[in-house]
Amino acid sequence: MASLNVRKDTGKLYLDFRFRNIRCREQTELKDTPTNRKRLQNLLDRVEAEIMLGQFDYRATFPNSKMLPKLDATVYSPHFKQQLFVEVL
């Protein structure tokens, strides 16, 4: 289950969800306000729906993410519901 959280040290919001059986946390520069929470909850709802439908594009949604190299190094097989690690040359 995905969640929207706030960093105690900065007061900024971040998204916490799983993709390809990998825990993903995406930081934002948004302060914890009702407006920003609603905005990010809408994004998080869309991310969860796209993941469930097999249509989620991590790179398009979070183009500057530090998670991209880790995700690029895995291949996910929805048929077998597991991830396979591949060697990146």
For residue 73, the model assigns a pLDDT of: 84
Looking at residue 86, its pLDDT comes to 52
Q: Give pLDDT, residue 77.
A: 54
One digit per residue, the tens of pLDDT, for the chain of length 89 reads 899 999 999 999 999 999 988 999 999 999 999 999 999 999 999 999 999 999 999 999 999 999 999 988 876 655 545 455 555 54
Query: So what's the pLDDT on residue 11?
Result: 96
At residue 80, what is the residue type? Answer: F
pTM of the model: 0.79
- Give the span between the Cα atoms of 30 and 40, in whole angstroms: 9
- The Cβ of residue 88 has, within 10 Å, a number of other Cβ atoms equal to 8
